[in-house]
Amino acid sequence: MAERLQKIMAQAGIASRRKSEELIKAGRVTVNGQVATLGDQADPEQDDIKVNGRALPPFERKIYIMVHKPRDVISDEDDTGEGRRTVRDMIQEVEGHLYPVGRLDKQSIGLMLMTNDGDLAHKLTHPRYQHEKIYRVKVEGSPSRETVVQWRRGVELEDGRTAPARVKVEERLEGSTWLEVVLTEGRKRQIRRVATQLGHPVLHLTRLQIGPLKLGDLPLGQWRHLTPREVQALKRYTAKDDRPQPKRDGRGRVHRRRR
């Protein structure tokens, strides 16, 4: 897939995007033998890209895999020596190092994205970009309207106040309630910690969506490669992250300069 040269060079470890732009402007980058200009695009899988006459390092084919994580599987590598099963263990037939995009705790199930595209993983997980993740959550009891409003506004935890969230009551049952929770940050066990602090511990938690990527009907415990359309949707969704981001406070509010 064609991308801007400075982005390809940065991903290949040649230089930062800004420095790569300077190399292009200086005429030190060629594509298929022709001197490149700023704004040119290329496909690293098909085009011959050289910097100072040297070819870029071998291009690593990008992999994007959706996993429906079951319970008792951990998101990250097991560094305890206990031999716990990981999401990576579920897709052993796929070679290479893959990053988990947003973690789920051992008890939670749902959508996990595994990829070797570090740039995309960073954009989807870093709190500065405010990308949404959607969860279906069952909690104990019946949260009052005031409790739901408090959750929406933010809750003070030991590591600071949470950013505003969208919380919607979907169904009230006897002794429990189903909620839809939409977060733009991803602290460790955040939903469980907030729910417990508000007096309604989590009974069940499923992640349904990361940005435009939906879990859909993928069976529990199964995985599949993303379709080209899904990959394109994620790249379009994160394309705006290449622009300078406004500074925000701990509550997610934008700092505005006084005039």
Q: Which residues are catalytic?
A: 105
Q: Tokens 């595209």 — which residue?
A: 117
Q: Are 130 and 123 in contact (CB under 8 A)?
A: no
Rg from Cα positions in the chain: 22
Rounded Cα distance, 122 and 152, in Å: 25
Cβ neighbours, 10 Å, residue 104 = 24
The gap from C-alpha 192 to its chain's centroid, in whole angstroms, comes to 19
Long-range CB contacts (within 8 A, 24+) of 234-240: 234/64, 234/120, 234/124, 235/120, 237/131, 237/211, 237/212, 238/120, 238/123, 238/124, 238/129, 238/131, 238/211
The tokens describing 204, both together, are: 């069940």
Count the alpha carbons within 13 Å of 150 in the hemisphere toward its beta carbon.
Answer: 14
Comparing CA positions, the residue from 29, 61, 21, 28 lying closest to residue 48 is 29
DSSP for 104-173, written as a single string: --TT-EEEEEEES-HHHHHHHH-GGG---EEEEEEEES---HHHHHHHHH--EETTEEPPP-EEEEEEEE
Question: Which H/E stretch holds residue 19?
Answer: helix 17-25
The partner residues of 214 in beta bridges, in order of sequence, read 209
